[in-house]
Structure 1
Amino acid sequence: MRTLAVAGGASPSLGRAIASAVFARHPPDRWRLLLLSRSPRSPAWLRALDPHAHRHALRAVDYTSIPSLTSALRGVHTLVSVTGAVDGTQAQTQINLLHAAVNAACKRYAPSQFGLGHKAWTEIRSLRWLNQDLFGQCAKHSSNIDIAYFNHGCFMNYLGHGVFPASKPASEEEDALRTMQQVQVYKASEDSVCEGLQRCGPLSDGSGGYLIGLKSGIAELPVRPDGQWPRITLTTVGDVGRFVAASLDLPAWRGRMDMVGETVTMGQLLRHAEQVTGKTFRVTALQADAIRRKMATFSQDDFSGLLWSEIDLAYTRDKDDEAVLQPVLNNHFPDIRPVTVHKYLEKAWKQAM
């Protein structure tokens, strides 16, 4: 039996998606999960998924300490990081995990990248800041450990934010009990639509979504300099988990292991939203010059605002390997049928009605 360690694996989004996908795809005697977390407390979804901890272990670690991480990773075959921090520690955490994985003789490592294509991580200033020297450190150690980069474009789940009203969350114990009683990893309503993705998008309706608001009927879509709609690759959190789980079967991990839910134009995205809801959306076309003017009003401390605007700018460029990804893992695993944009919007809208 091999062990997959997931740094940040207790998260309700990618951590949960990867864990549930590994359990669904692989028999118990093939892969065991080790979830690394800053907290020793098991989240509700994990207790629902594996209540007796037959297939997983949760270990509290100090991401600032390579010795702590090395100790936790002894005996681990593959390490995937899904940590996310915007306080300046993200790159160093990935580098610390890399050094610990090498020290512990892990075979494969995927740092937390998950997002736009590889070019974006060097061309978008905010993403460069998140990465810092990560790529260089990974290249330096590539003879000792397989390095892979998982990217998926934009999370499709941002399109589902706002279809449910924000509600006060139940207590942890109430949440755990209800989830276990239902024998479900995702609760009905927003949890199953957004798959744990936080409401952090910049849409002006305040939903925390991105690009379109199904409930509010607005669309804020980047447009190319020639006036045409650019392309966008979107993938659900759940499909990211399924592709990562499937990739455990690959004999080697090397370089870019991109995945694609669906690539559409912004115009096609708008048409899908209007078809599903029966609404005529109020559309704001985001021109590159207007995006730059908006960026000039942000404080340099407003990392989130700057990042979203830089992502909008990337879409106006309409470049392959930046906003548009190639289906590398799709080609490896044709048995995985990702959720399409129309199907996703249809599910979100029906559940909200």
Structure 2
Amino acid sequence: MVHIAIAGGSGEVASEVIDALVAAKKHEITILSRRGLIWRTVNYDDKSELAEALQGIHTVLSFIQLMTDPNQQAQKNLIDAAILADVKRFAPSEYGSSTTVDMPWWARKDATQEYLKQVNESGKTIEYTLFQPGMFLDYLAFPYKTAKHLTPLNTMIDFENRRAVVVEGHDAIMTFTTVQDLAAVVARAVDYDGKWPVIGGISGNRIPVSRILEIGERVRGHPFVIEKVKLEDLERGNLKTSWSLETSHPSVSGEQATSLLKAVLIGILLSGAKGAWDVSDEYNQLLPDYKFTQIDDFLAEVWKGKP
């Protein structure tokens, strides 16, 4: 048993991971929150207070929302405090693609990754991993909710309306992993006795977009309407489609969401064409007995009998 601290524990992905850790009944868990919603209120601007809160902690899992930490100062302070408190392991707020190319809303992750490199080079070492599961498979079930906490979001492949937007000349390789599988792998990673890999790819399903569309047409019983966009148009910020995204993450305010939806779709398409969603499989290799939810089975079950 080890003592785990969850930073940003009121978030959706954090809640899924907490459920998996609680179900395992192996570890003591402390949840850090700005709001005092769950066990311990902390001030992320106060390193000394954070370090005191982290005394006796073995592993810190961060789920701090990037949009509320524009300079990543809260995560940097959390890293410094973890080192001061002799925390062994740290996982920053990642839980997505392998790179942030053309996704400015996630570019702040790069600053945290660079900071972790720097502190380890300076001798203040802390073991860390970047949990990267690709895109949540649950989003292909939109508008249906397939997880306890995760809010359904629509993507460039719209199963409900049997349509998709693809980049002309690019059959992007995507990684889709259910949020439950991510949570289960994180829980098992906490138990793992070996050294955590820095790049922590979690590959539930590695699949080209064309194959997803084939599955979609089969489980929906109707061809998808495909709209093709040019890479050069996307690079200029032009989205020449008849539809766009409609739902945004709950952490994004209504005013922000309106301006972000177009940018997010452009960014997902561009980053997909450039390989950002083709994540590695380090944790598949470390946990070879874990069985991931397969995309064919998941989509067939979700869309069975749906209009």
TM-score (norm 2): 0.84
Quick check: 2:156–2:265 contact (8 Å CA) kept in 1? no
The 1-side partners of 2:48 and 2:42 are apart by: 10
SS at match of 2:304: helix
SS at match of 1:133: helix
Task: Identify which range, 87-96 or 236-245, moves more after superposition.
Answer: 87-96
Distance 1:265 1:132, change over 3 A: closer
Quick check: 2:202–2:284 contact (8 Å CA) kept in 1? yes
RMSD after superposition: 2.6
The 2-side partners of 1:214 and 1:254 are apart by: 35
Q: CA deviation at 1:75?
A: 0.9
SS at match of 1:116: coil
- Aligned position for 1:350: 304
SS at match of 1:86: helix
Q: CA deviation at 1:296?
A: 8.6
Structure 1 portions without partners, runs of 5+: 43-57, 164-189, 200-207
Q: Select which of 159, 162, 165 maps to 1:220.
A: 165
Alignment of 1:114-263 (within 5 A): 114-117=95-98, 120-121=99-100, 123-124=101-102, 126=104, 129-131=107-109, 133-142=111-120, 143=123, 144-163=125-144, 190=145, 193-199=146-152, 208-223=153-168, 227-250=169-192, 251-263=194-206
Residues 105-137 of structure 1: per-residue CA shift (max 9 Å, x gap): 1001011111111xx23x436156413532232
Quick check: 2:3–2:27 contact (8 Å CA) kept in 1? yes
Q: Select which of 2, 24, 32 maps to 2:28.
A: 32
Residues 178-225 of structure 1: per-residue CA shift (max 9 Å, x gap): xxxxxxxxxxxx2xx1443335xxxxxxxx4002222212112334xx
Q: CA deviation at 1:273?
A: 1.1
One-letter amino acid matched to 2:17: I
One-letter amino acid matched to 2:178: T
The 2-side partners of 1:351 and 1:70 are apart by: 53
Alignment of 1:49-68 (within 5 A): 58-68=39-49
SS at match of 1:335: coil
SS at match of 2:299: helix
Residues 145-164 of structure 1: per-residue CA shift (max 9 Å, x gap): 1021111111112111124x
Q: CA deviation at 1:304?
A: 5.2
Identity of aligned residues (%): 24
Q: Does residue 266 of structure 2 align to residue 309 of structure 1?
A: yes
Q: Select which of 328, 342, 345 maps to 2:282.
A: 328
Structure 2 portions without partners, runs of 5+: 241-255
SS at match of 1:241: helix
Quick check: 2:155–2:265 contact (8 Å CA) kept in 1? no
Q: How many residues align?
A: 288
Q: CA deviation at 1:92?
A: 1.6
TM-score (norm 1): 0.74
Q: Does residue 210 of structure 2 align to residue 267 of structure 1?
A: yes
Quick check: 2:147–2:180 contact (8 Å CA) kept in 1? no
- Aligned position for 2:7: 7
The 2-side partners of 1:70 and 1:304 are apart by: 38
One-letter amino acid matched to 2:80: H
